Chain A
Amino acid sequence: MKDSIPNLAQNKPRVNLNIGKYGLLVALLVLCTALTIITPKFLTLPNIMIILTQVTINALLAFGVTFVIITGGIDLSVGSVVAVTSVVTATFARADNYPLVVPLALGLLVGLAFGSLNGLAITKGKVPAFIVTLGTMTIGRGLALILSKGRPISNLSDSFNYIGSGNLLGIPLPILILIVVFIICTLLLRKTIMGRYVYAVGGNEQAARASGINVNQVKLFVYTLGGGLAALAGIILTSRISTGQPNVGIGFELSAIAAAIIGGTSTSGGVGTITGTLLGALLIGVISNSLDLLNVSSYYQQVVMGLIIIGAVLLDSLNKNKRN
């Protein structure tokens, strides 16, 4: 019996045959291969960069949403947070009035404030997340319009514009930011105590509470993180289009939720990975890019996107049923 202890501690063939995750990777590769054959425009460096830059915004939002959904919650406000951030950041990023740090800090602060507001209303106020974030989604949109008086804010400083358009060693900055955030979020979720708690709260909130986990603190954390990541996405987007736009980000929350769900995050909580979400966001990005390349109208694109969301979840649940 004694001899088996080191064995138990060392062997760790993680029995984590996440079919959904690999299935997604395979689907993505198949799709890319097919597109390369169909249209020569697909596999070109500029096009790849376009896809990745577009994916960046959605992926950042989706990472935050993934944390929230794993705890069993939902966040509908991220699209509006992008808009408020965009307006606030642009207001302070005009014509070199303030050092670059000011618009960035204020933008992030707005996002964190929205996120913690969501978190507080959900934990202290015991209002369902769907309702709270539906409310803050509307509030955010309204604030963005009020602060900007409904007009886009342009004429932003060059240093600010560099964030969205500059590059390092030939790689656009937004993509680098995405990679860094991806690594941080993955480590956070998989390797830290907070990450463990996020899964526990979503898996069984009562058991988490009985184990001495401060459930409210965990929830507050994920919504605040979601708000912060939405602000980051808002800053990058504002910089890329060189304008503060109160109307930006409409429907972004849905694409973000879609990426998380396609990536295997379960809406009933307790299940999900950042890698899966990234793959989900990439799949959405590649599909919408390919529909562009193939000159499919954007109206049809929405229908296709909806079908893919349902299809992904359907496949996953069929898989699960088979395994049971």
Chain B
Amino acid sequence: MSQKQNYILEVQNLSKNFSGVKALDQVQLKIREGEVHALMGENGAGKSTLMKILAGMLTPDSGEIVFEGTPLHSHRDLKILSAGIAMIHQEMLLVPELTVAQNIFLGKEIRRGKTWWLDDRSLNQKATELLAQVGIALDARTLMKNLSVAEMQMVEIVKAISKNAKIIIMDEPTSAISDKEVKSLFNIIADLKARGVAIIYISHKMDEIFQIADTITVLRDGKYIQTKPAAELNQDSLISLMVGRELDTMFPEHTEAKGNVLLSVQGLGRQGKFSDINFEVSAGEVLGIAGLMGAGRTEIARAIYGLDAIDTGNIFIRGQKATIKSPQDAIKNRIGYVSEDRKAVGLVLGMSVKENITLASIKKHKRGLFVDDASERTAVANMIEALRIKTPHPDQPVKNLSGGNQQKVVIAKVLLSSPEIIILDEPTRGIDVGAKFEIYKLVKDLAAQGMAVIMISSELPEILGMSDRILIMAEGKQTAILRKTEATQEIIMQYAMPQ
């Protein structure tokens, strides 16, 4: 397949600054027809910026872009890019109240001749054809809102195909879908390759990369590092290219020092979400919660934290029955929660790093009627240093930070509310290898300091590497609690599969 030497896209010396910060510095990228080209790098390496430029959402400051042999110079030329390159977004850009067909042809509706009337029949027909071509079993007339995340992604892909896109950018396409769905996604990718469509694939999951990528380009700190055929790299060499150093072990040393039971739940249930959940977590312990998407893991965390109500069962904090009806109650009971969705639940994106870090603990920085600015800044500076949050300034809007650093801001916020029990929901989702390692280390440190940690994760190696015990869920029920020594990926998957 790599015999096709003709590049559809050649990017040279591309640079882009954001208010003085070099997001991209002389970057290059060459995409061949029909290849899967993985773009790798830690968060903040410049992948997103590069992709946004290619999708026509941002204009570069300087550099050359040649698309299908045509050099693109002006702002207007770049429009050609958005016609030929489609991006499957992490945040889906689909209209929930419209049907699959209507979404696919959104903006290119089929009319009856030259009139303004819509031709729904041929719209549905064409959509059905496209879906069949790619081998997706979906009714074109289903409303978007009734689809699963994976199905929505498929619709996005079909939409890209309908535009005759030459390149499809997939940004973390498997971050929210099940293993089975990943398989069908990979089948679709293979099909796209066969038609000569190139895929730019961004993912933090190493096994995926080596499974499907033909070529890998690595960026680091906004700079181009290397492009190599995937076959010439392995996980270790790729990671060291990405982080610029060797990572010896992914998971920090384990120390088992269990203390008293801090949290226990009995018979916990919430209508339609989960039922009969029983477990306990002790000081110094990490309890992993594994399971497939939709198994009810996040819902349990939200219920313990008081974000959603529980219908049955009890929560005990240090042996005492606790009533937790709101996050305020949870914080009073020294529970902290780092949400899986940092943009929607974790952060106020428009506020500064400082304001986000102290959002849950600002009452500790009070002088008379006012906020004590000096003590707030000291607390923030300490957190920025302790968690090594990379930000030019505490007053920087948090939305300008990379995903990994945003995640650290959320963790800092939760830590400042002085929890003894901390629930981390997919704490490493969408963040890069280096930051992942730091977060693992941090989690172990928290446990070592005597916190009870609950960590929800969809990544099995992470669950196995981090947990002392593992609770496994399937379809809202708890199917097993295993000790670390009893668990393997296969055993966990057996318990996690719906019966």
Contacts and interface: CB of A to CB of B under 8 A. Distances in A.
Q: Is chain B a partner of chain A in the same complex?
A: yes
B328 A8 contact: no
B229 to A, nearest CB: 37
A12 B395 contact: yes
Contacts of B346: 207, 210
A213 interface: yes
A38 B374 CA distance: 50
Given A193-B371, A212-B360, A15 B396 contact: yes
Contacts of A200: 348, 351, 355, 359
A298 interface: no
A97 B355 CA distance: 52
A5 B369 contact: no
A11 interface: yes
A270 interface: yes
A206 to B, nearest CB: 5
A9 B377 contact: yes
A5 B305 contact: no
B378 A9 contact: yes
B143 interface: no
Given A199-B348, A204-B349, A271-B350, A211 B393 contact: no
A193 B345 contact: no
Interface in B348-401: 348-351, 355, 359-360, 362-363, 366, 369-371, 374, 377-378, 380-382, 384-385, 393-396
Contacts of B384: 8
B447 interface: no
A208 interface: yes
Contacts of A16: 395
A72 to B, nearest CB: 11
B370 A192 contact: yes
Contact of A187 (B328, B366, B370, B396): B370
A177 to B, nearest CB: 21
A12 B394 CA distance: 9
A191 interface: yes
Nearest to A15: B395
B370 A210 contact: no
A210 B327 contact: yes
A191 B394 contact: no
Nearest to A199: B351
A14 interface: yes
B377 A212 contact: no
A212 B331 contact: yes
B428 interface: no
Which of B348, B350, B380 gathers most chain A CB within 10 Å? B348
A207 B348 contact: yes
Interface string B399-431: 000000000000001000100000000000000
Contact of B369 (A2, A192, A207): A192
Interface in A193-217: 193, 196, 199-200, 203-204, 206-214
Contacts of B307: 209-210
Contacts of A2: 385
A165 B3 CA distance: 89
B332 to A, nearest CB: 8
B347 interface: yes
A302 B369 CA distance: 42
B474 interface: no
Contacts, number: 98
Interface string A42-85: 00000000000000000000000000000000000000000000
B215 interface: no
A307 interface: no
Nearest to B410: A207
Contact of A214 (B328, B345, B348, B417): B328
A227 B370 CA distance: 23
Interface residues of B, number: 40
A271 B348 CA distance: 12
Interface in A155-208: 187, 191-193, 196, 199-200, 203-204, 206-208
A204 B348 contact: yes
Contact of B417 (A11, A212, A270): A212
Nearest to A191: B370
Given A9-B374, A203-B351, A193 B362 contact: yes
B342 to A, nearest CB: 9
A203 B395 contact: no
A199 B417 CA distance: 19
B1 interface: no
Interface in B305-333: 305, 307, 326-328, 330-331
A11 B394 CA distance: 10
A303 interface: no
A11 to B, nearest CB: 7
Given A8-B377, A8-B381, A203-B350, A211 B371 contact: no
A187 B363 CA distance: 17
B348 A192 contact: no
B371 A191 contact: yes
Contacts of B350: 199, 203-204, 270-271
Contacts of A15: 393, 395-396
Contacts of A5: 378, 381-382, 385
B137 interface: no
A16 B381 CA distance: 20
B395 A193 contact: no
A211 B349 contact: no
A209 B346 CA distance: 10
Nearest to B367: A191
Nearest to A16: B395
A211 B351 contact: no
Given A1-B385, A196-B371, A210 B305 contact: yes
A70 B446 CA distance: 36
Nearest to A8: B381
B282 interface: no
Interface in A1-49: 1-2, 4-5, 8-9, 11-12, 14-16
B344 A207 contact: yes
B337 interface: yes
A8 B374 CA distance: 11
Nearest to B341: A206
A219 to B, nearest CB: 15
A210 B337 contact: yes
A180 B382 CA distance: 37
Which of B327, B347, B366, B384 gathers most chain A CB within 10 Å? B327
Contact of B348 (A1, A187, A270): A270
Contacts of A192: 369-371
Contacts of A191: 369-371
Given A193-B363, A196-B359, 9 more contacts: A5-B381, A8-B384, A8-B394, A191-B370, A196-B362, A199-B348, A200-B348, A210-B307, A270-B348
5 contacts: A5-B382, A8-B380, A15-B395, A196-B355, A207-B347
Interface of B: 305, 307, 326-328, 330-331, 337, 339, 344-351, 355, 359-360, 362-363, 366, 369-371, 374, 377-378, 380-382, 384-385, 393-396, 413, 417
- 9 smallest CB-CB distances across A and B, nearest first, come from A203-B348, A211-B360, A8-B381, A212-B331, A9-B377, A204-B348, A211-B359, A191-B370, A203-B350
